[in-house]
């Protein structure tokens, strides 16, 4: 049997919730041509002269609100998820590790270690349920860049998405049902996905369609009427038009429409991170309540739960 290595890849986080580390992280992230397509001189002047002198301070404060003893939630949950999957492995020919697209452990360092251990077959699973050229494609770029300089290239298997996999849909639905069994139902269930510039969709990115498909699958499984839920998009950046409706503006508008209680879930995030724990569960919650809302509840991502272990195991079983 070929020696197989599985690598889970997530976005990454600063190494510490401090201005210096956040600045280093943002520089790497916002210098990616998949994230910001126009990486010309003008953008670099704006990035280095304006954004990196303003945004790190704000982001550092946000990270400090959610930082855990062992690091950022994204890093802690991704590592724990990987460790728990590794504990289930019974095949001595298969190993599993994780990497971050930005920050550490880097894709380059992780792949270097794997190849030194004699990997003959590599399976890469980006922890993005829905495909996007800004996330999934960027991971694939980094993997291909590594092997451009390698003397030996193993058999490669790249998993593009799992937005409609039954195991993933079932796990999200069960998390909603479990939460509502404990907390009760509310006026609206909000599905909030990370935003994307509209122009990227016009260039052929599949992300919006896959977000819609995920939402439809969940709604069908839960037998929700259209009036019971809303799909929207968060985390806008810059002045360009992004996918709509926007989560923040949607939440602020609901109380005047007699929607006083909401529950929010983010099916585009495998594990909780700054965008879910600070932006949604703190900032957006405060905005909704300030606009006249009475109850705002956030439903956690699957994180390192047994349900998520099962999802990952089922997805990978088709390739191992």
What is the full DSSP assignment across the chain? ---EEEEEEE----SSSSHHHHHHHHHHHHT-TTTSS--SHHHHHHIIIIIHHHHHHHHHHHHHHH-BTTB-HHHHHHHHHHHHHHHH---TTEEEEEEESSSSSBHHHHHHHHHHTT-SEEEEEES-SS--TTTHHHHHHHHHHHHHT-S---EEEE----TT-HHHHHHHHHHHHHHHHHH---SEEEEEEE--BHHHHHTT--HHHHHHHHHHHHHHHHT--GGGEEEEEE---SSS-BSSSBHHHHHHHSGGGT--EEEEE-TT-SS--HIIIIIIIIIIHHHHHHTT-SEEEEEPP-TTSHHHHHHHHHHHHTT-
158 contacts: CB under 8 Å, gap ≥ 6: 124, 140, 143
196 contacts: CB under 8 Å, gap ≥ 6: 132, 134, 205, 207, 208, 233, 242, 243
**Residue 34: which of 99, 101, 100 has the closest Cα?**
101
- What's the total number of domains in the chain? 1
In a domain, 217, yes or no: yes
In a domain, 198, yes or no: yes
Give dist(CA 45, CA 55) in Å, integer. 15
In a domain, 292, yes or no: yes
In a domain, 184, yes or no: yes
CA 16 to the chain's CA centroid: 19
In a domain, 316, yes or no: no
What is the full per-residue pLDDT of the chain (320 aa) written as tens digits? 899 999 999 999 999 999 999 999 999 999 999 999 989 999 999 999 999 999 999 999 999 999 999 999 999 999 999 999 999 998 999 999 999 999 999 999 999 999 999 999 999 999 999 999 999 999 999 999 999 999 999 999 999 999 999 999 999 999 999 999 999 999 999 999 999 999 999 999 999 999 999 999 999 999 999 999 999 999 998 888 999 999 999 999 999 999 999 999 999 999 999 999 999 999 999 999 999 999 999 999 999 999 999 999 999 999 99
In a domain, 275, yes or no: yes
In a domain, 25, yes or no: no
CATH number at residue 267: 3.40.50.1400
- HEC-encoded secondary structure of 149-176: CCCCCCEEEECCCCCCCHHHHHHHHHHH
Give dist(CA 111, CA 98) in Å, integer. 10
In a domain, 129, yes or no: no
Structural domain boundaries enclosing 229? 166-299
């Amino acid at each position: 049997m070929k020696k197989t290595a599985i690598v889970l890849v997530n976005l990454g986080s600063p190494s510490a919730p401090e201005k210096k580390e956040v600045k280093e992280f943002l520089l790497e992230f916002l210098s990616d041509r998949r994230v910001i397509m126009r990486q010309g001189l003008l953008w670099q002047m704006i990035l280095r002269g304006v954004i990196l002198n303003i945004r790190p301070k704000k982001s550092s404060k946000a990270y400090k609100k959610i930082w855990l003893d062992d690091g950022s939630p994204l890093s802690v949950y991704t590592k724990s998820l990987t460790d728990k999957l590794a504990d289930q492995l019974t095949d001595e020919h298969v190993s599993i590790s994780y990497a971050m697209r930005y920050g550490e452990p880097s894709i380059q360092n992780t792949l270097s270690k794997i190849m030194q251990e004699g990997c003959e077959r590599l399976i890469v699973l980006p922890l993005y349920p829905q495909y996007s050229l800004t996330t999934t494609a960027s991971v694939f770029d980094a993997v291909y860049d590594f092997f451009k300089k390698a003397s030996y290239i193993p058999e490669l298997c790249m998993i593009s998405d799992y937005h409609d996999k039954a195991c993933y849909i079932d796990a999200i639905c069960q998390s909603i049902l479990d939460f509502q069994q404990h907390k009760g139902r509310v006026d609206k269930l909000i599905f909030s996905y990370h935003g994307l510039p509209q122009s990227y969709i016009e260039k052929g990115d599949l992300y919006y369609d896959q977000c819609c498909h995920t939402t439809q699958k969940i709604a069908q499984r839960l037998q929700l009427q259209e009036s019971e839920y809303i799909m929207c998009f968060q985390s806008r950046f810059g002045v360009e038009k992004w996918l709509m409706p926007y989560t923040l503006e949607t939440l602020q508008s609901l109380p005047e429409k007699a929607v006083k209680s909401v529950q929010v879930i983010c099916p585009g995030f495998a594990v909780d991170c700054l965008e879910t724990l600070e932006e949604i569960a703190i900032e957006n919650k405060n905005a909704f309540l300030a606009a006249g809302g009475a109850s705002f509840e956030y439903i956690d991502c699957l994180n390192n739960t047994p349900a998520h272990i099962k999802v990952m195991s089922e997805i990978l079983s088709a390739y191992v």
